[in-house]
């Protein structure tokens, strides 16, 4: 039952995701699709070696419960999102399921679900969990084949036209796809726009033989940095396994998601006064303060589903996560698409030099920030520990740093005099996630020690 997470369904193939429960997931998702007046769905899958098998089991459950399934084949996750916002071959399908383990290790897989153009997440996933817990239907193989549909070509054509300004782009771009599925689309778009580029690991391989497909981890960017140095390339992009997260590297800087939020927010402000930009609880205070100088910022929960929903609810212009999920609502459909975001990044270099882009970040106030760090706990422990921490912060020890405020929309973000500290339960893995930021290293490390001490987890003090 631990596969039913906050934003999606995710677990280890065969151990957590077997034929019976995947069929049941399909069966009960069919009910959710029919509840919004639909009887059709798109399914796409990533490069993982077991994705096709999951496609079979999932679609059998959907078909058994009356849903017509259209297979997108192997595609980036954003293609599955794109298809529900655009009529593909005159179909009016507004629901999709993407079979993907995202940036998790090769043995993982899962489902990212969109129903009626909205994320299927949170209480909806928990409702699905309860149905399956109470009754697992008996597996029945479908009596008809899936219908193949080419959403990828429509997507590539759309973005090639949308970014026609990038034709004959003046820079050479290095790209690392990490043997995920990003290259399936991006390589075609770059070719159509005549963008000179150097691609790494563009061939999908679910074993990820070169490095883990997570561009938010510095160790996974080493091959890309080496190519930049050897080929004298000053702009590089890195993608995660299913191409919904992006990283930008230039000669002297690796940009975090909140820094991209500042760059994109400023560009949007040129066209629309006072833009609204949503960040998540891990984003730097510098991002919020900077955006408030030319627009409005809002702090919200971590998670691609949470941010998509909040973006639409407030009709915001942009939302960003530290990990590289970027959601554009100004010229796009409001979901996280690393291929689209990568092309928007290249557009920045039509107006600014590499040095100027780097300077926009280097001139920001200097702070010390720890990287995102993870503390291994059990699925059962993680939320209990956060609740205990909240209670302890109501009456902290006498030597605890002065608390100015506590933000508890997602875990606990404690605001101190010189910075802040965050402890939150991951919604995708059995870990607590921490991050600390302050005007100086000494303060940040003090906040880190004091907050982690309050957790009272064996071996952490």
- Mean pLDDT of the 182-193 span: 98
Q: What is the pLDDT of residues 396-455, one digit of tens each?
A: 999 999 999 999 999 999 999 999 999 999 887 789 999 999 999 999 999 999 999 998
pLDDT at 123: 94
Residues 329 and 382 in one domain: no
pLDDT for residue 458 is more than 60: no
Q: Is residue 130 part of a domain?
A: yes
Residues 172 and 72 in one domain: no
User: Which of 98, 121, 152 is the last residue before a domain boundary?
Assistant: 152
Residues 321 and 413 in one domain: no
Q: Is residue 194 part of a domain?
A: yes
Q: What is the pLDDT of residues 238-265, one digit of tens each?
A: 999 999 999 999 999 999 999 999 999 9
Q: Which residue has the tokens 């205990």?
A: 388
Angle 321-327-328 (CA atoms, 0-180°, nearest 5)? 140
Number of domains forming the structure of the chain: 3
pLDDT at 457: 63
Nearest residue to 250 (alpha-carbon basis) of 186, 330, 171: 171
Q: Is residue 1 part of a domain?
A: no
With beta carbons less than 8 A apart as the criterion, state whether 78 and 244 touch.
yes
Residues 256 and 305 in one domain: yes
pLDDT for residue 460 is more than 50: no
Residues 51 and 144 in one domain: yes
Nearest residue to 206 (alpha-carbon basis) of 82, 17, 51, 412: 51
Q: Parallel, antiparallel, or unpaired for β 173-176 and 235-239?
A: parallel
Catalytic residue among 325, 344, 413, 435: 325
Task: Answer yes or no: 167 catalytic.
Answer: no
Task: Answer yes or no: 325 catalytic.
Answer: yes
Residues 141 and 104 in one domain: yes
Q: Assign residue 417 the CATH number of its domain.
A: 3.30.310.50
User: Which of 362, 390, 411 is the last residue before a domain boundary?
Assistant: 362
Angle 191-197-203 (CA atoms, 0-180°, nearest 5)? 75
Residues 107 and 16 in one domain: yes
Q: Which residue has the tokens 């995708």?
A: 428
Q: Is residue 3 part of a domain?
A: no
Catalytic residue among 59, 102, 216, 426: 102
Average pLDDT, the chain: 95
Nearest residue to 327 (alpha-carbon basis) of 302, 359, 292: 302
Nearest residue to 317 (alpha-carbon basis) of 259, 268, 257: 268
- Mean pLDDT of the 79-92 span: 95
Q: Parallel, antiparallel, or unpaired for β 431-438 and 373-376?
A: antiparallel
pLDDT at 459: 42
Nearest residue to 178 (alpha-carbon basis) of 113, 101, 251: 101
Residues 443 and 311 in one domain: no
Catalytic residue among 10, 197, 245, 344: 10
pLDDT at 417: 96
Cα–Cα distance measured from residue 149 to residue 167, given in angstroms and rounded to the nearest whole number:
28
Its domain, for residue 89, covers 9-152
Nearest residue to 362 (alpha-carbon basis) of 233, 281, 440, 250: 250
Q: What is the pLDDT of residues 262-308, one digit of tens each?
A: 999 999 999 999 999 999 999 999 999 999 999 999 999 999 999 99
Task: Answer yes or no: 123 catalytic.
Answer: no
Which ranges constitute the DSSP H helices of 100-233?
A: 123-134, 151-162, 182-192, 222-231
pLDDT at 357: 98
pLDDT at 2: 77
Q: What is the pLDDT of residues 327-366, one digit of tens each?
A: 999 999 999 999 999 999 999 999 999 999 999 999 999 9
Which tokens belong to 292? 């408030």
Residues 130 and 207 in one domain: no
Residues 312 and 244 in one domain: yes
Q: Assign residue 141 the CATH number of its domain.
A: 3.40.120.10
Q: Parallel, antiparallel, or unpaired for β 108-115 and 118-119?
A: antiparallel
Q: Is residue 112 part of a domain?
A: yes
Angle 146-138-95 (CA atoms, 0-180°, nearest 5)? 40
Q: Provide the residue count of the chain.
A: 461
Q: Is residue 318 part of a domain?
A: yes
Residues whose CB is less than 8 angstroms from the CB of residue 251 and which lie 6 or more positions away in sequence, other chains included: 228, 234, 354, 358
Q: Is residue 460 part of a domain?
A: no
Q: What is the pLDDT of residues 15-71, one digit of tens each?
A: 999 999 999 999 999 999 999 999 999 999 999 999 999 999 999 999 999 999 999
Q: Is residue 143 part of a domain?
A: yes
Q: Calculate what percentage of the chain has a pLDDT beyond 70.
A: 99
User: Which of 94, 129, 152 is the last residue before a domain boundary?
Assistant: 152
Cα–Cα distance measured from residue 124 to residue 289, given in angstroms and rounded to the nearest whole number:
35
Nearest residue to 422 (alpha-carbon basis) of 358, 371, 349: 371
Residues 222 and 182 in one domain: yes
Which tokens belong to 71? 């297979």
Residues 222 and 122 in one domain: no
């Amino acid at each position: 039952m631990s596969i039913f997470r906050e934003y999606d369904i995710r677990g280890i193939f065969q151990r957590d995701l077997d034929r019976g429960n995947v069929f049941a997931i399909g069966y009960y998702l069919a009910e959710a699709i029919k509840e919004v007046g639909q009887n059709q769905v798109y399914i796409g899958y990533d490069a993982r070696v077991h994705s096709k098998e999951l496609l079979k089991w999932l679609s059998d459950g959907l078909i058994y419960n009356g849903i017509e399934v259209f297979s997108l084949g192997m595609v980036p996750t954003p293609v599955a999102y794109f298809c529900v916002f655009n009529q593909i071959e005159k179909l009016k399908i507004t629901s999709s399921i993407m079979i993907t383990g995202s940036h998790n290790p090769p043995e993982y897989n899962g489902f990212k679900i969109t129903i009626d153009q909205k994320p299927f997440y949170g209480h909806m996933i928990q409702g699905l969990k309860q149905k399956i817990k109470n009754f697992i239907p008996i597996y029945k193989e479908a009596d008809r084949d899936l219908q193949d549909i080419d959403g990828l070509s429509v997507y590539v054509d759309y973005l090639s036209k949308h970014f026609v300004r990038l034709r004959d782009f003046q820079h050479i771009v290095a790209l690392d796809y990490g043997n995920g599925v990003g290259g399936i689309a991006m390589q075609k778009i770059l070719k159509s726009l005549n963008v000179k580029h150097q691609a790494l690991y563009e061939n999908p391989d679910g074993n990820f033989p070169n490095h883990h497909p997570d561009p938010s981890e510095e160790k996974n960017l080493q091959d890309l940095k080496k190519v930049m140095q050897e080929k004298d390339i000053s702009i590089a992009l890195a993608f995660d396994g299913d191409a919904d997260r992006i990283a930008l590297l230039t000669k002297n800087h690796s940009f975090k998601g909140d820094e991209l939020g500042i760059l994109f927010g400023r560009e949007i402000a040129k066209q629309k006064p006072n833009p609204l930009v949503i960040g998540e609880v891990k984003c730097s205070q510098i991002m919020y303060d900077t955006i408030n100088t030319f627009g409005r910022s809002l702090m919200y929960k971590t998670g691609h589903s949470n941010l998509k929903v909040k973006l639409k609810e407030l009709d915001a212009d942009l939302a960003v996560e530290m990990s590289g999920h970027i959601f554009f609502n100004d010229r796009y459909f409001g979901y996280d698409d690393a291929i689209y975001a990568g092309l928007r990044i290249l557009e920045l270099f039509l107006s600014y030099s590499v040095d100027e882009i780097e300077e926009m970040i280097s001139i920001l106030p200097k702070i010390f920030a720890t990287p995102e760090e993870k503390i291994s706990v059990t699925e059962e422990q993680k939320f209990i520990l956060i609740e205990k921490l909240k209670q302890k912060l109501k009456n902290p020890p006498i030597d605890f740093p002065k608390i100015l405020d506590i933000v508890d929309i997602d875990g606990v973000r404690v605001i101190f005099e010189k910075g802040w500290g965050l402890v939150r339960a991951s919604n995708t893995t059995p870990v607590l996630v921490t991050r600390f930021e302050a005007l100086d290293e000494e303060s940040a490390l003090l906040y880190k020690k004091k907050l982690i001490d309050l957790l009272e987890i064996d071996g952490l003090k």
